[in-house]
Structure 1
Amino acid sequence: MIAERKDDHVRFATEQHRRRSGHNQFDDVSFVHHALSGIDRSDVSLATRFGGIEWQVPLYINAMTGGSPKTGAINRDLAIAARETGVSIATGSVSPYFADESVADTFSVMRKENPDGFILANINANATVEMARRAVGLLRADALQIHVNAVQETVMPEGDRSFASWGPRIERIAAGVDVPVIVKEVGFGLSRETLLRLQEMGVRAADVAGSGGTNFARIENDRRDRPDYSYLDGWGQSTPACLLDAQGVGIPVLASGGIRHPLDAARALALGASAVGASGLFLRTVLDGGVAALVSLLSSWTDQLEALMTVLGASTPADLTRCDVLVHGDLRAFCADRGIGTRRLATRSLSYGTDFHHTNHETIGGTR
């Protein structure tokens, strides 16, 4: 039954991405173009650091699947693509392994194919410390993702219905494993209040995983005999909304959910993400074109992100948070309701004292 569910998830997720409309709230974020802000490409580094972790590029293949022969083959191809491009990768939830150890190789194939890469094991928030350690051992994982997915579980016909223990369990796991713990949503977003709680629990980083990408409420609704929960299609906060909500929170944040291209990755980094991940697009790419297609896509993203940083004058991913951005539309309305100031984002480069911006500012202000 678990293997069948995992195959269903792949099928429905792929169908979703094939018919997805082009717009999401990343389109409500734009960079202010400063024509003389560009730097030399040779001065750009894609390396990113957060929570004691260092990645050579700020991109990662986010959690997807595992637990059946078909999904094991997908994990193998994803791991090869990660190895060839140097991006980090997360396995899907290893819950099937806890229920049936015979499916171990559908997950451990990631480490077999990517022996030196950065791999995140993935478990749910019902796991014990002992289960968390088993997951890390299975993958020889460099970090542990814990996914929180109350909305998905609610719609899932066979899903969990008890969530009160999640917080205490996460805190125990964070203290009980020897690798960094990263908590992630599955497409409904992490609010500022949730991020503050995770920080108190000792979680090293959080993946906001907002709406705009794969919709697991819709996937689980498609698996039901009747689509009883179709009204939940718009539940949650978008990834850019979560990133803006996280401004000033001490815990490092990662961004996934609705990332369509390198410009969205640059937007997410500019809004404070330390790294950017995707699942559905990468899944569709590897299913349609195999490993070579995904390697080509990831290489292109890396190259184009570096090009965008060069134009924007950002020598590191963290420097993108100094770039001026405008927030429009529904995203701006969200910020107003949550008490998030957006005007300062449009002129924040002035705070960093670049000669060009200071000169323009002083001339326009009439002080020269």
Structure 2
Amino acid sequence: MISQRKDDHVRLAVEQQHGHVGRNQFDEVTFVHHALAGIDRPDVSLATEFAGFSWPVPLYINAMTGGSEMTGRINRDLAIAARETGVPIASGSMSAYFKDESCAGTFSVLREENPDGFVLANVNATASVDKARRAVDLLKADALQIHINTVQETVMPEGDRSFSAWVPQIGRIVEGVGVPVIVKEVGFGLSGDTVRVLRDLGVRVADLGGRGGTDFARIENGRRDLRDYTFLEGWGLSTAACLLDSRDVGLPVLASGGVRHPLDVARALALGAHGVGASGTFLRTLMDEGVEALVTQLSSWLDQLAALMTMLGAATPAALTGRDLLIQGTLREFCADRGIDTAQFARRSAAAPTTTGGIR
């Protein structure tokens, strides 16, 4: 039953991606063009450091799958692509492994094919500390990702309906697992208030996982006989909104959800993310065209991100937070309602260091 559910998730996610390349709130974030701000390409570094981590690039393959024969093959190919491009990679939920250890190889292949890469294990917020440790040990993981997904569980026919224990259990895992913990949403977003809760629990990083990418309410509704939760499709906060809402919390954040191309990566970094992840976009490429095409796509994204940084005058991913941005449309309305001053982003390069003779 679990392996069938994992295969269903992949099938429905790919179907969603094939019909889903539309606009989202990243399109309401625009860089102010300064025509003489550019720097030299050799001066650009993609390396990013945050929360004690050092990544060679600010792009990562976010949690997807595992637990069945098919998803094991997918994880093998994802691990190969991560190895070939140097991008960090997260496992899908390892709950299937806890219920049936015979599927361990569908997860451990992430480390076997990528022995020197940055790998994150993945559990849900109800996992015991012992299970969290087992997940980390199986993957020899550098960090643990805990996914939170109340909306998905609500729509899932066999989903959890008891959520009050999640906060204290996350705290127990943080204290007992022995590696840094990253908490992520699965596509409905983390508000600034939620990120504050995670900070106070000792979580090392928040992966905002906003609306705009794979919609798990839609996926789980597709598995229901009556399709009776259609009204929850599109629920949540966009990734751009989450970045703005959590900007002053004091906890490093990663951005995932609705990331369609390298410009979205640059936008997310400029809004304060330390790294940017994608799942559905990369899964579609892998399933449609194969692992070589995914390696090419990842390499192209990194090259194009470096090109954008060169044009914008940002020598590092962190330097993008000094580039001028216009926040427009419904995203600006969200900021107004949440008390966020968008004007501060429009002229912030005036205070940023420059190597271009004073032109920013």
TM-score interval w.r.t. the shorter chain? over 0.9
TM, length-normalised to structure 2:
0.98
Match for residue 27 of structure 1?
27
Match for residue 231 of structure 1?
231
Match for residue 44 of structure 1?
44
TM, length-normalised to structure 1:
0.96
Amino acid of the structure 1 residue aligned with 2:131: M
> Equivalent residues in 2 for 1:312-331 (5 A)?
312-331=312-331
Match for residue 242 of structure 2?
242
Local SS of the residue matching 2:144:
strand
Task: Report the count of equivalent residues.
Answer: 360
Q: Once the two structures are superposed, what CA deviation does each residue of 1:21-62 show, in whole Å capped at 9, x if it has no partner? A: 421110000000111111111111100011111100000000
Local SS of the residue matching 2:138:
helix
- What CA RMSD, in Å, does the superposition of the two structures yield over aligned residues? 1.1
> Equivalent residues in 2 for 1:1-368 (5 A)?
1-352=1-352, 354=354
Q: Once the two structures are superposed, what CA deviation does each residue of 1:254-302 show, in whole Å capped at 9, x if it has no partner? A: 0000000000000000000000000001001011111100000000000
CA–CA separation in structure 1 for the residues paired with 2:147 and 2:313: 35
CA–CA separation in structure 1 for the residues paired with 2:247 and 2:60: 22
CA–CA separation in structure 2 for the residues paired with 1:11 and 1:2: 14
Mapped contact 1:90–1:121 kept (Cα < 8 A):
yes
Mapped contact 1:206–1:253 kept (Cα < 8 A):
yes
The 3 A distance-change label for structure 1 pair 277 and 353 is closer
CA–CA separation in structure 2 for the residues paired with 1:300 and 1:17: 20
- Which 4+ residue blocks in structure 1 deviate beyond 4 angstroms? 355-360
Local SS of the residue matching 1:137:
helix
CA–CA separation in structure 2 for the residues paired with 1:21 and 1:89: 23
Q: Once the two structures are superposed, what CA deviation does each residue of 1:201-245 show, in whole Å capped at 9, x if it has no partner? A: 000000000000000000000000011110011211000000010
The 3 A distance-change label for structure 1 pair 35 and 293 is same
Local SS of the residue matching 2:89:
strand
- Bigger Rg, structure 1 or 2: 1
Mapped contact 2:88–2:119 kept (Cα < 8 A):
yes
Structure 1, unmatched stretches of 5+, are 361-368
CA–CA separation in structure 2 for the residues paired with 1:62 and 1:203: 18
Q: Once the two structures are superposed, what CA deviation does each residue of 1:136-188 show, in whole Å capped at 9, x if it has no partner? A: 00100001000000000000000000000000010111111221100000000
CA–CA separation in structure 1 for the residues paired with 2:298 and 2:124: 28
Displacement after TM superposition at 1:353 (Å): 5.2
Displacement after TM superposition at 1:248 (Å): 1.1
Local SS of the residue matching 2:172:
helix
Mapped contact 1:350–1:357 kept (Cα < 8 A):
no
Displacement after TM superposition at 1:93 (Å): 0.3
Structure 2, unmatched stretches of 5+, are none
Local SS of the residue matching 2:146:
strand
The 3 A distance-change label for structure 1 pair 345 and 225 is same
Identity of aligned residues (%): 69
